Structure 1
Amino acid sequence: MTRRVMGVDACKKGWVGIAGDLKGYFGVTIGELVAAAEVDGALAVVGVDIPIGLSSTGPRRADVLARGLVGKRASSVFATPVRAALSAATHAEASAVNLRATGKGVSQQAYALARKILEVDAWAPTAGCAVIEVHPEVCFATMAGRPLTHPKSTWAGAEERRQLLAGAGLQVPADIGVAGQFAAVDDVLDAAAAAWTAGRYAEGRAVAYPEPPEVFGDGPPAAIWA
C-alpha cells in the first residue's frame, strides 16, 4: 500500500499543503492544515518548508549545505536564527541576540517567519507522523540534477518548476480547492516539491543534508531532506 504524504509551505494567510495524490489543503495553523488533510486518510510523512531543529549557539550545517546545493538561488536559504532570537519582540532585539550567539544578525525574512518556525517547533512532536524539513529549491535542484535557472517569482521560474514537477509525476491540477484561493502560485509549487521529497522519504530514498542530521540539545534532528 502506498503511504500517504503531504508537502507544506507557509503562505500569507496560513499554510498550504499538497498531498502526494495532488489534493490541496489549507489551514490557518499547521495543525488545522494537517487535520484537514487527514480527513482524507492518515499521513505517514509531512514535509515542511520551515526550519526544524533549532540551534542555541551557532549556525546549522543544514542551511550551509543547502546554500551550496542551489547555486545562485542561495539567497533563498536564510540562516536559521538561534532559538532565543526567535522569541525576541523586535527584529533589532532578535539580531542582537543572534549576533551574540553566532556573530551574525538576523535577516528580515528570517525574523518574519519566527512565529511560524516556533509554531512548527511546538506542533511537530505531537504530529503522530514523521515530520521532516525540506527546502523547495533543494527539492527542485535535486529533481533537475542542477540548480534552477530562474527565480520562482517569475513566469519562467514558475514554468521551470511546473515542468520539473510534471516530469516527476506531480502535475498539480488547476483546481486544488480552497488552497488555491489563499496561496500564491509559488507557494503551491513549493508545497508540491515538498510532497515529492516527503514521498521519497516514505520510500527510503530521500537524502539528508547533513547526514547524519545534527541534534541540538533535546530537540529534533536538524537536516534538510531532498
Structure 2
Amino acid sequence: MATTGRVLGVDGCRDGWVGVAPDPDGPRAYTAPDLRALVALAEGDGSVGLVGVDIPVGLLDEGWRLADQEAARALGARRASIFRTPVRAALEAPDHASGVRISARASGGGFSVQAWGLRVKVLEVDLLVRGGEDRVREVHPELSFARLAGRPALHPKKTWAGQQERLALLAAAGIDLTRLRGGTGSAAPDDVVDAAAVAWTALRLARGDAVSVPSPPQPAPYGLHAAIWV
C-alpha cells in the first residue's frame, strides 16, 4: 500500500495515545485521550496519509488471529510482548471472566488479563476502522525492531540496555529521538520509543515496502483484515 502525506506511529499510553510523526526536519510527538483526536492534532501540522497503531486491528468472530500466532513465533525471546487477541464478543463482555467463557466457546480457550486490559483501546480502534477510517494499519513495535536489527531485540524494552538498543536502531534508520519535538505528556519513555518504531514501519507502508504477517492478510468481519505489518 503506497500512499502520500505524512505518517503517524501510535502507541497506547497511560492517559490515551502517543504518536510520533517522523518528519524530514525531525520527529514530532503528539498526545491525546483518543485516537481520532490524536490524528486530528497531528493533521494540524500537515496531512496524515497513514496511521500505524500498536493495537489489534481486525477482530474475528471465532478462532484465533493468525497474525498473533505468527508474530509470536517470529519474536522468539520477545514473544511475551504479543497477546492472543480474543474475538470481538469476548472483548465486549462486562468482565474478564465472562469474556473468557465467550472466548472458550468461540475459540476453544481463554485469554490473559493483560489482553483484557487492552480492551478499551482495542474496541476504540475497532469502532473507528469499522466506521470507515481506512488509514489505520496494525503494527507491532517488536516486529519493527526485529526487522531493523535482523533479529529480535536482545534486551527487554523497559531496561536501560533495551532502551539504548532500540534508540540506536531508530537513529540508524533516520528517526533520531534526541531531536524529538512536541509533547509526550504522561507517556512513558518506552511508549514513545514504541510509537517511533511503529512510525518507521508506517513509512515502509507508505512506500509500499512493508509486508504483512500473515501474508496474505487474514480476512476479518466487516470487510477488514487481521494482519500485523512490518
Equivalents in 1 of 2:96, 2:145: separation in Å? 31
Partner of 2:140: 135
Are positions 1:209 and 2:206 aligned together? Answer: no
Residues 1:23 and 2:66 aligned together: no
Q: Equivalent residues in 2 for 1:1-226 (5 A)?
A: 3-21=5-23, 22-126=27-131, 130-173=135-178, 175-179=180-184, 181-226=185-230
Amino acid at match of 2:194: D
2:59–2:221 contact (8 Å) kept in structure 1: no
Q: Distance in 2 between matches of 1:151 and 1:174?
A: 24
Aligned-pair CA distance for 1:175: 4.9
Distance in 1 of aligned mates of 2:93 and 2:4: 42
Q: String of CA shifts for 1:77-110, please: whole Å, max 9, x gaps.
A: 0000111001011111111111111121110111
Q: Report the alpha carbon displacement of residue 174 of structure 1 after superposing the two structures with TM.
A: 5.8
TM-superposed deviation, 1:211 = 1.2
Q: How far off its partner does 1:128 sit?
A: 5.2
- CA distance in 2: counterparts of 1:43 and 1:55, whole angstroms: 28
Q: Which AA in structure 1 matches 2:218?
A: E
The residue type paired with residue 202 of structure 2 is A
Contact 1:43 1:129 in 2 (8 A): no
Contact kept in structure 2, 1:44 and 1:129, CA below 8 Å: no
Gaps of 5+ in 2: none
Are the equivalent residues in 1 in contact too, given 2:130–2:222 (CA < 8 A)? Answer: no
Distance 1:80 1:210 in 2: 15
Structure 1 stretch 122-131 or stretch 45-54: which is displaced more? Answer: 122-131
SS in 2 for 1:223: strand
SS at 2:178's partner residue?
A: coil
SS of the residue 1:221 aligns to: strand
Q: CA distance change for structure 1 residues 127 and 39 in 2, over 3 Å: closer, same or farther?
A: farther
Letter in 2 for 1:12: R
In 1, distance between residues paired with 2:98 and 2:122?
Answer: 17
SS at match of 2:111: coil
Q: Percent identity?
A: 51
Runs ≥4 residues deviating over 6 A? none
Give the RMSD, CA atoms, in angstroms.
1.5
TM-score (norm 2): 0.94
Residues 105, 125 of structure 1: alpha-carbon distance in 2 compared, 3 angstrom cutoff: closer
The superposition leaves residues 32-86 of structure 1 with CA deviations (integer Å, 9 ceiling, x where unpaired) of: 1001000011111100000000011100110011011111110110000111001
If the length of structure 1 is used for normalisation, what is the TM-score?
Answer: 0.95
